[in-house]
A = this chain, B = another copy of it.
Amino acid sequence: MKEMLGRQRAVSVKEGLQKILENLPDFTPDAERVSIEDALSRILAEDIYSKEDLPGFDRSSVDGYAVISADTFGASETIPLYLEFSGEIKMGEIPSTRLSRGKAMKIATGGMLPEGSDAVIMLEHTAPVDERLIEILRSVAPGENVIRRDEDIKRGELVLKKGHKLRPQDIGALAGLGITEIEVYKKPLVSIISTGDEIIPPGEKPAPGQVRDINSYNLAGLVIEAGGIPQRMGIIRDDYTLIRDTIKRACESSQMVLISGGSSVGTRDFTARAIDELGSPGLLFHGVTMKPGKPTIAGIVNNVPVFGIPGHPAAATVCFLNFIKPVIKTLAGDTSPSIPKTLRAILTKNIPSSPGRTDFVRVKIIEDRGNYLAEPVFGKSGLITTLVHASGIVIIPDERLGAAEGETVEVILFE
């Protein structure tokens, strides 16, 4: 067989990702304006500076009495002090009077401290003597049980950075600052092309030799989870011109292209050739030293990353997690750190592996009397059920020869 395009040397997972990321153009996604109620998990397209102090006034963080802290110094359960009751502070209102020495005003959590007061003593550290006198059983320090007017957020402070993925608490902070609409990045559109003469849509009945399209449905779900919008381009025949023209059209109408199901050498070579011919820099690699997922193809066609994804479902998922997910994150404008979501679990069986490649072993998590067990899901990477039965993946790095039964491993959990 002739040496195929770009198959000269397989790259490592790390090299492969680096090649793609360093060839990605500098890129700022378009922005759109959304209400904070629709902003969960969206990526901020602007820096958010606060225009005001939060909470905006000195506020009690407990139920108790607003006092002048110096008035409580020396108070204890055995030698209490006494303050004069000077009325109750209404929630949401400015206290009617200034607090003067020797006095205390009742205040609820969230209430505004009266002028003159600098601390709150908790209800449980006081006892009413009569309608006018309150017994103080503890001293409080200046500022105790008070949230200062700018303690949460200071006016002018950078609260949330451009590129941050918005979580519930971030939306809470925006609401607190009175920001009800924000600029977020538009989600990247990811074209998914299914190839293979044997592939038919899921709604059709396969003739002998035909199978329904599994991969593009798996991939579409992964794209959504990663923050993209899948755009299905249909199933096309194993024909070079057709593959090339469809990739071209996809590059023009989306921010990323996935060619799914090119599992045979022929289709893979068509894909690699088309990527290389369609634009610059073209093909970046063809083949990765990982299992499953070795026949992964990646390139960039006129600023659009294009991936040829192995046809075996488990290989497609491994390829997605290693290469496509980080690229979608970049295209989405998401600059927040990637923190792996893991679980430590005890291996129930030996995992064999060969040096010189990274193994991604599907495992099922089983809870067993408070312990988590990781049971390897063996089976060919062409079986979708090996993914359906799995809860996550254990990585066996290049230099390791496997992992042993009873060993504690870190499982990268599926979303």
Contacts and interface: CB of A to CB of B under 8 A. Distances in A.
Interface string A161-175: 000000111111111
A385 B152 contact: yes
A276 B80 CA distance: 38
Interface stretch (A131-139, A219-227, A297-305): A219-227
Given A40-B221, A337-B365, A344-B344, A198 B111 contact: yes
Nearest to A263: B109
A265 interface: yes
A229 interface: no
Given A173-B388, A214-B172, A264-B110, A91 B339 contact: no
Nearest to A167: B414
A130 interface: no
Interface in A373-405: 380, 382-385, 387-388, 390-391
A91 B239 CA distance: 12
Contact of A340 (B93, B264, B343): B343
Given A94-B208, A112-B208, A215-B172, A160 B221 contact: no
Contacts of A210: 92
Contacts of A123: 1, 265
A367 interface: yes
A36 interface: yes
Interface string A294-336: 0000000000000000011100010000000000000000000
For the residues of A in contact with B, the DSSP-based class is loop
Contact of A213 (B54, B175, B263, B341): B175
B168 A413 contact: no
A153 interface: yes
A388 to B, nearest CB: 5
A3 to B, nearest CB: 13
A212 interface: yes
A367 B337 contact: yes
A108 B266 contact: yes
Contact of A264 (B59, B91, B415): B91
A176 B212 contact: yes
A180 interface: yes
Contacts of A343: 339-342
A219 B91 contact: no
Interface in A16-45: 36-37, 40
B92 A209 contact: yes
Contact of A176 (B57, B211, B337): B211
A314 to B, nearest CB: 9
A77 interface: no
A108 B204 CA distance: 23
Contact of A211 (B110, B213, B387): B110
A348 interface: no
Interface string A193-206: 00011110011111
14 contacts: A54-B384, A56-B211, A61-B382, A63-B265, A109-B265, A147-B383, A152-B382, A168-B221, A169-B218, A172-B384, A177-B212, A179-B202, A339-B372, A339-B413
